[in-house]
Structure 1
Amino acid sequence: MSEQARRPLPHDFHPQVPEFTVVSDGMTHEGVLPDDQVHAEGNVSPHLRWEGFPAETRSFAVTCYDPDAPTGSGFWHWVLFDIPASVTELPRGAGSGDFVGLPDGAVHARNDYGTRDFGGAAPPAGDGPHRYVFTVFAVDQEKLGVDAGASPAVVGFNLRFHTLARAALIAEYEVSGG
């Protein structure tokens, strides 16, 4: 088992909740992250579609987190919340560029690049494979109660107490050399 496989995932620190399904037209669970989602290659947020969430869901949040980043605290690539409950799909690019397809009312918090959008993978060369955990949270209220100025940690804190269910899709990416 690789060192990365033993590192905890962000969900390991939250209460257990039911799971639902998230899929993507551009990537597969436990597959390789497509070049489009790499910071230097395209930096485009992926397509995501979800189903099977609880009927009482009032909104959704979407995050992308790299638990294998050599920071001691991981790296947040995407933090999006207050997605209306009627939305069950984000098209490719909704969280980046011109935000085409970003639902009305959805809020981007800053990622660890310091921007309010999707920031693609950029692991250090030779650091081994990094996991990119794309999570969709079914939330019990329409508004999470924070604004775009919130840090990923504050968004995560609020999600801890308002998540009804969760779905995750994990892909890996690695830069050779070093």
Structure 2
Amino acid sequence: MTLDRPIPPDPYAVLPAVPEFTLTSADVRDGEQMPVEFGHTSVGGENRSPQLAWSGFPAETRSFTVTCYDPDAPTGSGFWHWVLVNVPAGVTELPRGAGSDSSAGVPGAFSVRNDYGEQSYGGSAPPAGDRPHRYVFAVHALDVEQLDLTPDASPAYVGFNLTFHTLARAVIRPTYQVKG
């Protein structure tokens, strides 16, 4: 049964506008259902993060932050699935499954706790029968080498810091739905 509620706005539509660059994936496509392997184990998935690659970011980029957020979760605040901070500027791709490691295999990077309470990628798991949820994967090009944060920071606090350091952003929005 689909939960009766309005569709929330895109999370980046309500923040200050920044230039865009390109985010691609060999595993997920914008506007299309993600394969089950990228879902949470609670819905039969493998809790595996998709491959992501980015290009065309500003030359003055000093680091990146990678996030995955579900604005459609019936929580009043959405649901953070992954927040990977302090990715060095020389890293422009994460392989499939990188999110299972708290640093995604990137020296100096770390994941803050997602809304599952884990410092890693947490796969999609919308309520069974609900409408398709959007999973907003974003790569933020930053003007600092590192955000002054620790792994104990909340995703909201990371987002607050991103607002003041993002030079440009690349986004891909696949969907996920569990049939009811």
Q: TM-score when scaled to structure 2?
A: 0.92
Q: How does 1:133-172 map to 2 (within 5 A)?
A: 133-172=136-175
Counterpart Cα distance in 1 of 2:122 and 2:5: 21
- Tell me if the contact between 2:21 and 2:57 (Cα under 8 Å) persists in the aligned partners: yes
Secondary structure of the structure 1 residue equivalent to 2:157: helix
Q: Distance in 2 between matches of 1:78 and 1:113?
A: 10
Q: Tell whether 2:65 aligns with 1:64.
A: no
* Equivalent residue number for residue 36 of structure 1: 37
SS of residue matched to 2:50: coil
Q: 1:100 to 1:59 in 2, by over 3 A?
A: closer
Moved >4 Å (runs of 4+): 3-6, 98-101
Q: Distance in 2 between matches of 1:121 and 1:109?
A: 17
Superposed CA offset, 1:90-126 (max 9, x none): 0111111x56962111110000000000000000111
- Equivalent pair of 1:93/1:99 in contact (CA under 8 Å): no
Q: SS at the partner of 1:76?
A: strand
SS in 2 for 1:161: helix
- Unmatched 5+ stretches in structure 2: none
Question: RMSD over aligned Cα, in angstroms?
Answer: 1.6
**Distance apart, 1:9 and its partner CA:** 1.5
* Offset, 1:13: 2.2
Whichever residue aligns with residue 47 of structure 1, its letter is: Q
Task: Give the aligned partner of residue 93 of structure 1.
Answer: 97
Amino acid at match of 1:145: D
2:113·2:153 contact (CA, 8 Å) conserved in 1? Answer: yes
Inter-CA distance 54–4: structure 2 relative to 1 (3 Å threshold): farther
The percent of aligned pairs where both chains have the same amino acid is: 59
Q: Which amino acid aligns with 1:173?
A: Y
3-state SS, counterpart of residue 85 of structure 2: strand
Structure 2 SS opposite 1:54: coil
Find 2:51's aligned residue among 36, 47, 53. 47
For residue 4 of structure 1, report the CA deviation from its aligned partner.
Answer: 8.3
Q: Which residue of 2 aligns with 1:27?
A: 28
Contact 2:80/2:155, CA 8 A, preserved across alignment: yes
Distance (whole Å) between structure 1 residues aligned to residue 79 and residue 11 of structure 2: 11
How many residues of Structure 1 are paired with residues of Structure 2 in the alignment? 174
Q: Residue 133 of structure 1: CA displacement?
A: 0.4
Contact in 1 for aligned 2:79/2:115 (Cα 8 Å): yes
